Structure 1
Amino acid sequence: MRTADGDARNAPADLILRGGVVHTLAPGGGGGTATAVALRDGLVARVGDDREVLALAGASTEVVDLAGRAVLPGINDAHLHATWLGAMWPDTLFGEHVVPGPAPERPLLDDAQRRRAILRAGELAASLGITSYTEPGLGPGEDHGATGAFGTSVAELYRELAAERRLRARITVLWLFGELDGPSDLENFLAGLAATDGATSDPRWLRFAGVKIFADGIPPMRSAYTHHCYADGVRPALLVAGADDAEREANLARMIVAAHRAGRQVGVHATGDRSIDVTLDAIEQARAECDADLGHYIIHGDLVTGTQLRRMAALGVGLDTQPEIALRTRSLVDDALGPGSAAAAWPLQAAFDAGVSMCLTSDAPVLSPDWRRQIAAADEWMGPTADPRPRMERLLRCYTVEPARQDRAASWKGTLAPGMAADLCVLAADPLALAPVELPDVDVELTMVDGEIVYEREAWVATAETV
């Protein structure tokens, strides 16, 4: 493994960015006190003030003046359907409407189209400062799906692109053995779990982490699995196959336990409080049998309760959520579940207070992949705060530090401490000096992955001073 320590710690850097503000987001990282960062061999070599970092400047070191710009760890979107996004962009399911509409009919008909969609999504991600993302659900359950964006062939194309070094971001994949937003059954799940190959040439660029399971739907469609009826009397069932509620719950639990036994991470799409209870019971059972923290997590978790959040923290279960969906659908949730129901949904502050590892995600192309919008939406949903700076830093961690933990990669990415991966983005202004509502208007100037530039804004190229 490469290292920026030991005998080479004072070797010349490849690149130094200085004269700005560097937010390492590392424990004890000094907040905004750093003004420069040095990169060497794809790793962070040093972070500090200009003087101490410029000590690593050698004859071949490129030194760039940030002119007050801000450096952050690379953004990690822990739930982004990139292939589908590449086919649909600039359209999204929500668009400018309150409710998601039908997806534009742009099916990916062959591998050439799928390959182009992956590469197009990579370009878009790079332009937004995204250096890692999770493709949450690829596999045989969608080999004949209408979009052509989620089948086994997409997983194989990711392998090819990784081998060709064409990826612009680090990719985590979850296998899918049922239908997207649809049914699954225990038999096919177990067969898929036994048959899929997760080997890759470099897991730092492409890693098949585990499996995704759709437990239920969403509250506005009255398909979230809840402990109580909807306002109109609807009582939905789990999406997992079974003769009745008890058998469906048992089959969902068997899927989760089987994946845990196989050493696979599990991401469960669960929005209703009852589906979350079933999921947590199964994870607790799995950990009682084999107490390994595999980073299991709840996807969406719209109706998660305070009691469930405390259980999640105790079990090491994370939460991936989308605050912009909360803002857009609150009236629909009230219509479905009764007035005032949305006010108790998506309890972001309670998740922080309980110590749950929470990732903010886009679910693109359901929403735009622009992480700045999700942070602004989270702040709006949480309400006013006396001091926006600590909240902004905490929300930034939900797009950097916490997704790295979910990826089981916190030891080497997600912060800008020496020895960590040189994955970063440069913003035109310091986000910790802004109100979150202002963040979507701040330009991404530069994106680097593994110490290599994958995106430069034209204005950056014109104004960044090399010294």
Structure 2
Amino acid sequence: MTPDGGDPGATAIALRDGIVVRVGDDREVLALADASTEVVELAGRAVLPGINDAHLHATWLGALWPHTLFGELGGAGPAPLRPLTDDAQRRQAILRAGELLTSLGITSYTEPGLGPGEDRGETGAFGTSVAAQYRALAAEGLLRSRVTVLWLYGELDGPSELGGFLTGMAATDGATSDPRWLRFAGVKIFADGIPPMRSAYTHHCYADGGRSALLVAGDDDADREANLTRMILAAHRADRQVGVHATGDRSVQVALDAFEAARAERDVDLGHYIIHGDLVTASQLRRMAALGVGLDMQPEIALLTRDLVDDALGPGSAAAAWPLGAALDAEVPLCLTSDAPVLSPDWRRQIAAADTWMGPASDPRRRMDRLLRCYTVEPARQDHAASWKGMLAPGMAADLCVLEADPFGVTPAELPDVGVELTVVDGRVVYEHRARVEASKAV
């Protein structure tokens, strides 16, 4: 048993009413049992806190799976077909994604961008109608994972403007009946695009001599930067967490300047963070750590697009991008995420990709521990839920991912082959591997 934050030598865990009540040896835990206690024999399998993917488009994933938007070699995958045209389809897509995610041990995720900016979007997977379906499923007790949502007041991967942003913030209601299951945390802002498309906002030209601009509307670079700052300040004043899609070093700088200004104006930590941060610099990472600004990265995208980044920015540019090791060393709050359906939602692949990207580790066990925290402890912090989920310790949520083997006994490259045996959310089994079910029937 490997409960993060608890006793690494523990062999048993007791759950009651959706809460972990004890982690220890068999004798200590079984002493709490009574006639109504259900005992699940895990036979030495490893127990982790439930996996939390901090950046995953579940509704879109449910519509497209098993397809993803990236091909295995980094090229474009299938177009975003199969649009969701009515509420029944949106509901079914969310439920389908929930089944897939729990089969991977994922007990929490963030849907990063739903709202009026996409009410006429071509996929039908990001508008206010999707938010309404999440509310309905939460009220009916049908969500299989805990969900955090960011509101989106511009277009997905597209422009936004200050007036529409302010109007959207005033019009959308973030209240839910149980924020432990569904929480509308704040807002997402698209600052720029991505390096392979030459749409990341950078301090330097692309290899072809071109430049890019912020996606936020404005008359020129200075006006666009000012409007992005105004959006972030407005959200901070309204107690909204902000996730900024920023891949270029210049867009990251503008966002960090705005975050710092927001904290200077009102010193409240709302957990703001940068999404992607492909070209973030070492000095920016140190600044993020000092400000408490988080970073969500996708290591598999780094592997798949490195040649495209070199083509766009010049040979050798990819080697300096996605500085995962530097982010960990700087103690930036780092979440590894899939960005599904851009990629598969399989978190084991992201950990393997992160290890490959960073190169050989002097202490493989310590690296595995740090990378697992990027899918458990750090996302809980981003969710403002570190006090009640993300670790296996008394008083924490009974959200578990049970693996068939100890992740510390394999290399990160081998982790994708370690199967998920059982997923527990709020003390309830929501997924059990079929082979295990058949074995139990045979007893």
Partner residue in 2 for 1:105: 81
Residues 304, 346 of structure 1: 8 Å contact kept: yes
Q: Letter of the aligned partner of 1:57 in structure 2?
A: A
Number of aligned positions between the proteins = 443
Whole-angstrom distance in 2 between the partners of 1:278 and 1:406: 21
Partner residue in 2 for 1:279: 255
Whole-angstrom distance in 2 between the partners of 1:388 and 1:180: 38
SS at match of 2:39: strand
Whole-angstrom distance in 1 between the partners of 2:134 and 2:340: 18
Partner residue in 2 for 1:360: 336
Q: Letter of the aligned partner of 2:204 in structure 1?
A: H
Partner residue in 2 for 1:13: none
Unaligned ranges ≥5, structure 2: none
Whole-angstrom distance in 2 between the partners of 1:101 and 1:353: 34
Deviation of the 1:103 alpha carbon: 2.3
Partner residue in 1 for 2:31: 55
Partner residue in 1 for 2:4: 25
Whole-angstrom distance in 2 between the partners of 1:289 and 1:94: 41
SS at match of 1:267: strand
Whole-angstrom distance in 1 between the partners of 2:304 and 2:289: 28
Deviation of the 1:101 alpha carbon: 3.5
Partner residue in 2 for 1:327: 303
Partner residue in 2 for 1:372: 348
SS at match of 2:111: strand
More moved, 205-214 vs 338-347: 338-347
Partner residue in 1 for 2:54: 78
Q: Cα RMSD (Å) of the superposition?
A: 1.2
Paired residue for 1:424, among 396, 400, 405? 400
SS at match of 1:156: helix
Paired residue for 1:196, among 172, 182, 195? 172
Paired residue for 1:140, among 91, 116, 125? 116
Paired residue for 1:347, among 313, 317, 323? 323
Whole-angstrom distance in 2 between the partners of 1:432 and 1:50: 21
Q: Letter of the aligned partner of 1:359 in structure 2?
A: C
Whole-angstrom distance in 2 between the partners of 1:370 and 1:333: 24
Are 2:268 and 1:295 equivalent residues in the alignment?
no
Partner residue in 1 for 2:242: 266
Are 2:361 and 1:382 equivalent residues in the alignment?
no
Unaligned ranges ≥5, structure 1: 1-20
Residues 66, 464 of structure 1: 8 Å contact kept: no
Q: Letter of the aligned partner of 2:156 in structure 1?
A: L
SS at match of 1:63: coil
Partner residue in 1 for 2:144: 168
TM superposition outliers: structure 1 runs of 4+ over 6 Å: none
TM-score, with normalisation over the residues of structure 2?
Answer: 0.98
Q: Letter of the aligned partner of 1:419 in structure 2?
A: G
Whole-angstrom distance in 1 between the partners of 2:75 and 2:247: 17
Residues 400, 415 of structure 1: 8 Å contact kept: yes
Deviation of the 1:463 alpha carbon: 3.7
Give the % identical residues. 80
Whole-angstrom distance in 1 between the partners of 2:437 and 2:333: 37
Partner residue in 1 for 2:103: 127
Q: Letter of the aligned partner of 1:25 in structure 2?
A: D
Deviation of the 1:466 alpha carbon: 12
Partner residue in 2 for 1:158: 134
**Residues 236-276 of structure 1 deviation map (CA, whole Å, 9 limit, x = unaligned):** 00000001000000000000000000000000000000000
Whole-angstrom distance in 1 between the partners of 2:331 and 2:185: 23
SS at match of 1:342: helix
Deviation of the 1:64 alpha carbon: 1.8
Whole-angstrom distance in 2 between the partners of 1:169 and 1:191: 30
Whole-angstrom distance in 2 between the partners of 1:226 and 1:464: 57
Deviation of the 1:89 alpha carbon: 0.1
Residues 66, 465 of structure 1: 8 Å contact kept: no
TM-score, with normalisation over the residues of structure 1?
Answer: 0.93
Are 2:10 and 1:38 equivalent residues in the alignment?
no
Residues 112, 149 of structure 2: 8 Å contact kept: yes
Deviation of the 1:464 alpha carbon: 5.7
Whole-angstrom distance in 2 between the partners of 1:457 and 1:221: 40
Q: Letter of the aligned partner of 2:211 in structure 1?
A: R
Residues 153, 168 of structure 2: 8 Å contact kept: yes
Whole-angstrom distance in 2 between the partners of 1:460 and 1:47: 24
Q: Letter of the aligned partner of 2:332 in structure 1?
A: V
Paired residue for 1:64, among 23, 36, 40? 40
SS at match of 1:274: helix
Q: Letter of the aligned partner of 1:231 in structure 2?
A: A
Whole-angstrom distance in 2 between the partners of 1:451 and 1:466: 25
Whole-angstrom distance in 2 between the partners of 1:166 and 1:159: 10
Partner residue in 2 for 1:244: 220
Whole-angstrom distance in 2 between the partners of 1:434 and 1:373: 14
Deviation of the 1:465 alpha carbon: 9.9
Partner residue in 2 for 1:3: none
Deviation of the 1:385 alpha carbon: 1.1
Whole-angstrom distance in 2 between the partners of 1:30 and 1:245: 52
Deviation of the 1:100 alpha carbon: 2.7
Residues 100, 366 of structure 1: 8 Å contact kept: no
Whole-angstrom distance in 2 between the partners of 1:424 and 1:104: 33
Paired residue for 1:207, among 183, 201, 207? 183
Whole-angstrom distance in 1 between the partners of 2:221 and 2:286: 25
Residues 37, 47 of structure 1: 8 Å contact kept: yes
SS at match of 1:106: coil
More moved, 289-298 vs 95-104: 95-104
Partner residue in 2 for 1:412: 388
Deviation of the 1:54 alpha carbon: 1.2
**Residues 78-105 of structure 1 deviation map (CA, whole Å, 9 limit, x = unaligned):** 0000000000000000132312335241
